Amino acid sequence: MKKLLLLLVVLLNNVSVFAQSEEYSILVKDIETLQPIENATVVILKTKQVLLTNEDGKVTFVLNGGSNVQVSEMNYENLTMRWTSLKENEFIVYLKNKKENLDEVVVSKENPQKTLQKIVSNSKDKISISHRLKVYVREFFMLDNQYSYYNDGLVNFQFNKNNTTTLLVEQNRSYGLLETDVSADLMGYNLNNIMENYSNFKYFEPLLDSKAKKEYDFTIKGHAKNKEYYVMSVNPLDKAKEAVDNFEIIYDPVKKIILEFTISVTPASLDKIEDKTKVGDKNITKSFVKVNYRWDGTDYYLLSSNEEIGYTVILKDKAKNIQVRNSFVTTGFNKQNFTYSESDVFKEKSLFNKRNKILTNYWDISGFTATDEEKAIIASLEFKL
């Protein structure tokens, strides 16, 4: 009888816990323009879960019990909300623009390239501490301007001391169909490689060489909205023979860490590249990278990334246009190592064609809520199966 009563108490407690789990949606907007704010960071202070607003300024999460919520974006004043003010369904949060207007050239005795070398080196040192990230990753694929394939997953990256990563996949899903003659080009990003590139700041290697001064122009200005940050712009010189990428790097000059960088290629730069014509050759039509890092007061780690690449691949009888968009969103940071067996390690390059493993609707509450347009794309690809 005592065992039965104990079981009943446990079951009632579980029911109570589940009953307290509520789903919330927050819309983050500019208080003056009422426009949604994209890429605002929303932190659930109780669980330390990190979320990022989408193009509609929206995040969705499940909260068991109560927790204050912190909302921040570098162009706006931070806001912390008491959990009692949250309402189920959608809740609108308004942020106030900082309006610093500090877009002034920074005068320094140090060469800007030397400054970049120092902040890259220090950023690598700060981020190289052994840690793990829970990351929501997703990829959209287009073939000849039509969406043809989609995958996403909730994964864990364990960062080792030498900045290599171990990858475990918790859940994933894949939808859509691909043609066999171009499927090899639509295999998606190598997840370990791309994460290691972010943590090693590999994208900056072309700028750190002393010869880069002959190819690029380096300038530093104060951030237009935040007096604590500087913005370094690195653009190809007109006489540059190989340089085509434009860099914008937002960094903290006191902590000497990078907070955000963007790399893009303009149509004018692409026009400088001669098209290749051999079978198997690829001609770039679009290239864009944006990466954000988070400093939470004690720890420094990747917050989010978005990479888009478009290119034309030359086949035997025709050319086909390929476009791939990859996004990472960190939803959890932890200094503890994984406990896992070697058989749990995901050793493939990408989630392409991995058998679906869906335990929860992780895509709705794992850091980056899809827009209505994106949901429609995903649903149409799911219907093709």
Please give the distance of CA 31 from its chain centroid, rounded to a whole number: 26
Mean pLDDT of 67-80: 91
Asked whether residue 73 falls in the same domain as residue 139, the answer is no
Mean pLDDT of 242-271: 90
pLDDT score of 225: 84
Lowest mean pLDDT among 106-110, 133-137, 372-376: 106-110
Asked whether residue 63 falls in the same domain as residue 121, the answer is no
Q: What is the dihedral of CA 269, 248, 370, 360, to 10 degrees?
A: 120
Asked whether residue 284 falls in the same domain as residue 141, the answer is yes
Asked whether residue 82 falls in the same domain as residue 162, the answer is no
Asked whether residue 167 falls in the same domain as residue 253, the answer is yes
One-letter amino acid identity for 363?
W
Give yes or no for residue 10 having a pLDDT over 60: no
Report the share of the chain in percent with pLDDT over 70.
Answer: 88
pTM, rounded to two decimals: 0.88
120 falls within a domain = yes
pLDDT score of 129: 79
234 falls within a domain = yes
pLDDT score of 103: 63
pLDDT score of 285: 87
Asked whether residue 134 falls in the same domain as residue 84, the answer is no
Average pLDDT, the chain: 85
Q: What is the pLDDT of residues 338-354, one digit of tens each?
A: 888 888 899 888 887 78
Asked whether residue 221 falls in the same domain as residue 342, the answer is yes
Q: What is the pLDDT of residues 281-325, one digit of tens each?
A: 888 888 999 999 999 989 999 999 999 999 888 888 888 898 999
Task: Tell me how many domains the chain contains.
Answer: 2
Asked whether residue 200 falls in the same domain as residue 319, the answer is yes
Of 69, 95, 121, the residue at which a domain comes to its end is 95
Measured CA to CA, the distance from residue 83 to residue 369 in angstroms comes to 20
- In CATH, what number is assigned to the domain containing residue 8? 2.60.40.1120
Report the share of the chain in percent with pLDDT over 90.
Answer: 51
Mean pLDDT of 43-49: 89
- pLDDT-derived band at 30 (thresholds 50, 70, 90) equals very high
Asked whether residue 36 falls in the same domain as residue 178, the answer is no
pLDDT score of 269: 76
- pLDDT-derived band at 128 (thresholds 50, 70, 90) equals confident
Asked whether residue 72 falls in the same domain as residue 153, the answer is no
pLDDT score of 254: 95
- pLDDT-derived band at 177 (thresholds 50, 70, 90) equals confident
260 falls within a domain = yes
Measured CA to CA, the distance from residue 257 to residue 129 in angstroms comes to 14
Whether 145 and 324 have beta carbons less than 8 Å apart is answered as no
Of 65, 95, 125, the residue at which a domain comes to its end is 95
Lowest mean pLDDT among 111-120, 255-264, 336-345, 356-365: 336-345
pLDDT score of 117: 95
Domain with 195, as residue range(s), is 112-384
287 falls within a domain = yes
Measured CA to CA, the distance from residue 220 to residue 250 in angstroms comes to 10
DSSP run (H or E) holding 380 = helix 372-384
Taking CA atoms, 295 is separated from 67, 89, 226, 252, in Å, by: 21, 30, 15, 10
- pLDDT-derived band at 355 (thresholds 50, 70, 90) equals confident
Give yes or no for residue 150 having a pLDDT over 60: yes
Mean pLDDT of 72-83: 89
Give yes or no for residue 6 having a pLDDT over 50: no
Residues counted in the chain: 385
Q: What is the dihedral of CA 375, 378, 384, 385, to 10 degrees?
A: -120
Strand-strand pairing, 21-30 and 89-95: parallel
Measured CA to CA, the distance from residue 336 to residue 319 in angstroms comes to 48
Give yes or no for residue 113 having a pLDDT over 90: yes
- pLDDT-derived band at 20 (thresholds 50, 70, 90) equals low
Asked whether residue 52 falls in the same domain as residue 134, the answer is no
Measured CA to CA, the distance from residue 108 to residue 115 in angstroms comes to 10
Q: Which of 15-19, 148-152, 290-294 has the highest mean pLDDT?
A: 290-294
105 falls within a domain = no
Asked whether residue 14 falls in the same domain as residue 152, the answer is no
Give yes or no for residue 159 having a pLDDT over 70: yes
37 falls within a domain = yes
pLDDT score of 118: 96
- pLDDT-derived band at 11 (thresholds 50, 70, 90) equals very low
pLDDT score of 249: 97
Taking CA atoms, 210 is separated from 112, 187, 200, 218, 241, in Å, by: 12, 36, 19, 13, 16
